[in-house]
Structure 1
Amino acid sequence: MNNDIDQMHFLVLHIGEAYCLNNWNYKNICSPFTRMYYVTEGHAQIVLPDKTQDLYPDFMYIVPAFTPHSYICREEFRHYYIHIYNESGHDILEDWILPTEIKAEKGILSRIKKLHELCPEMELTQTDPKFYDNNSTLNKNILKNKQRELYARVESRGIIYQLLAQFLHLAQPKQYVRDERITKTLEYIRMNLNSHPDLDALAAVSCLSKDHLIRLFKKEINMTPLAYINKKRIENAQLKLVTETTPIKEIAYQLGFEDQTYFNRMFKKMTGLTPMNYRKSFHDTGL
């Protein structure tokens, strides 16, 4: 497991206060950034892959990047939203099982309001994710974040750390850290993902035979090394398709896919869409 906080390079993409009235009912959302919410009034729900989470005032909630989810709102509902994007090659939040809900400690709301003050003009102009989960909006807000004054960027990052620390304080490390050999293998995969590490290299790193590595890896991670590598490569492809204008063929090559047809087939198998249709689904509609 990677505990290196130097890999926490979070930028604020969107922040603001939202008032909803039976209109926060968006389905099948899966964004390349992490979402945090602080509820001030009312009640709503987030439907996650493993549960339906109720949202209540004075609690904070988190939805990590690439987590499929939907929203249900049947009454008045007011909340602060914070969308954060990690520029690091590896998001260390992936190594932890985060609590979806935490009771906000005293002073959290004032820090969120301060973060809002430090990030002017970064509110959502549309509440429907299809209008802001797109290439142009993400790139524009990443650039806008970096163009702020140095003190504002430093203070903003400090507040983001404080907010994330609330969830990490109650987080549990994912179980694969039980075997140091698998930990080393995972770290090697992350450092060499784009070069598509083969089974021989992974076996050498883990000091295991290939058959033993496959059995142990599957026991710890619930998938084979190859399946894990492809999963992480496709997640990287999702991020690139949304935040870059790089041609799909070039993205496939950057991620170690020598055959674009295989890349397209693997991408559709994991996301339900071809790379081209996935990119189109995130393009700005012009509104």
Structure 2
Amino acid sequence: MSRELTQPNFILLNIGQALHNADWNWKNVCSPFIRIHFIESGTAKLIRDNKVYRLHKDHLYLTPAYTNHGYECDGPLSLYYIHIYEELSNHPSIFDLMDFPVEIQADQLTIQLIKRLAEINPERKLQYFDPWSYDNLPTLVRNISLQKSVPFGYEMEAQGIIKQLLSRFLVQASDKKLNIDKRIQQSLHYIRTNLHKPISIDVLAETCFLTKDHFIRLFKKNMGCTPGKYINEKKIEKAQRMMLTQDITIKDLAYSLGFENNSYFNRFFKKMTGENPGSHKKKILLLAKNSDY
């Protein structure tokens, strides 16, 4: 993996210690954030990708965002949970590029880092451990907004600790073997790093040394949609992320994503999400204001 392809930035959502006794049993959990679990004592099971992983003392377990999984626990269990939101900016997710191990052993420094992260973020504890009580848009918006109130020194320290924890998994990770034509992979990288400006299909074809018609056919064969549709979908996805994390007007949002005018951005946003961007932003702000932590 090229180091220039990704510059990950992470927001801490939740961290805390949880004590369970045969009451950590959930199915079909799928969240827009990364989970790390550190097992202090006891045992349980993580079900992921049709595999069962028995959780062991002094080990860390990683579940990427949007990964369907579940838990089974039939006795005493003590663990730390860490929920992390990955801001993608103009880069692909690191999890799109690398295959991470599910389990690694924790050394003493790693354990100290986890406890330090919990110590400086006491307000990030979960009140309830039912995923459906916190794994929703209102709570996600609320937790991301808390980032603005964290002292800058603690925010920087939290960023460093999160990256250190993920680095423990990264050293054992491997490049994904994507079954995508290398020329299309090159065009995907161009799209992801240029979402802030208009993207020409002609330019994409030229970077792949293909004619425009050949490029469109090859892109559709590999990605299941036209390059134009893919580009606009990625721009709207980024717009939604920016609304979550930035105070930005709809006009500035449209221009920052390379749309030539507000009207076109509004039409395409509504086509993809079912609502206009103004209404979507108001809903997010209202949820952030009224949701319970």
Output aligned runs, 1:174-213, within 5 Å. Answer: 174-176=176-178, 181-193=183-195, 200-209=202-211, 213=215
Q: Distance in 1 between matches of 2:182 and 2:130?
A: 43
Partner of 2:28: 28
Partner of 1:70: 70
- Bigger drift between 229-238 and 115-124 goes to 229-238
Partner of 1:271: none
Shift of residue 173, structure 1, vs aligned partner: 1.2
**For 2:115, what is the secondary structure of its paired residue?**
helix
Match of 2:143 among 136, 141, 162: 141
Partner of 1:81: 81
C-alpha contact (below 8 Å) 2:16/2:122 kept by paired residues:
no
Q: Distance in 2 between matches of 1:88 and 1:260?
A: 19
Shift of residue 166, structure 1, vs aligned partner: 0.6
Q: Distance in 1 between matches of 2:40 and 2:135?
A: 24
Partner of 1:43: 43
1:51 to 1:195, Cα distance in 2 relative to 1, 3 A: farther
User: What is the identity percentage for the equivalent residue pairs of Structure 1 and Structure 2?
Assistant: 38
1:44 to 1:176, Cα distance in 2 relative to 1, 3 A: same
Runs of 5+ consecutive residues of structure 1 not aligned to the other structure: 266-274
* 1:263 aligned onto 2:265: no
Output aligned runs, 1:232-247, within 5 Å. Answer: none
Structure 1 residue identity aligned to 2:128: Q
Shift of residue 80, structure 1, vs aligned partner: 0.7
C-alpha contact (below 8 Å) 2:49/2:69 kept by paired residues:
yes
Shift of residue 211, structure 1, vs aligned partner: 6.4
Q: Distance in 1 between matches of 2:173 and 2:158?
A: 23
Q: Distance in 2 between matches of 1:209 and 1:18?
A: 57
User: Normalised by the size of structure 1, how large is the TM-score?
Assistant: 0.74
Match of 1:167 among 154, 169, 183: 169
Partner of 2:127: 125
C-alpha contact (below 8 Å) 1:16/1:80 kept by paired residues:
yes
Runs of 5+ consecutive residues of structure 2 not aligned to the other structure: 260-264, 275-279
Structure 2 residue identity aligned to 1:111: L
C-alpha contact (below 8 Å) 2:236/2:269 kept by paired residues:
no
**For 1:166, what is the secondary structure of its paired residue?**
helix
1:29 to 1:181, Cα distance in 2 relative to 1, 3 A: same
C-alpha contact (below 8 Å) 1:177/1:183 kept by paired residues:
no
C-alpha contact (below 8 Å) 2:139/2:292 kept by paired residues:
no
C-alpha contact (below 8 Å) 1:176/1:182 kept by paired residues:
no
Structure 2 residue identity aligned to 1:73: C
Shift of residue 73, structure 1, vs aligned partner: 1.9
Give 1 or 2 for the bigger CA radius of gyration.
Answer: 2
- CA shift digits 1:50-70 (9 cap, x unpaired): 423222111111111121222
Q: How many aligned positions are there?
A: 273
Structure 2 residue identity aligned to 1:146: K
Partner of 2:8: 8
1:5 to 1:159, Cα distance in 2 relative to 1, 3 A: farther
TM-align CA RMSD: 4.0
Shift of residue 32, structure 1, vs aligned partner: 1.4
1:36 to 1:230, Cα distance in 2 relative to 1, 3 A: farther
C-alpha contact (below 8 Å) 2:138/2:291 kept by paired residues:
no
Partner of 1:270: none
Shift of residue 139, structure 1, vs aligned partner: 2.8
1:73 to 1:155, Cα distance in 2 relative to 1, 3 A: same
Q: Distance in 2 between matches of 1:147 and 1:126?
A: 23
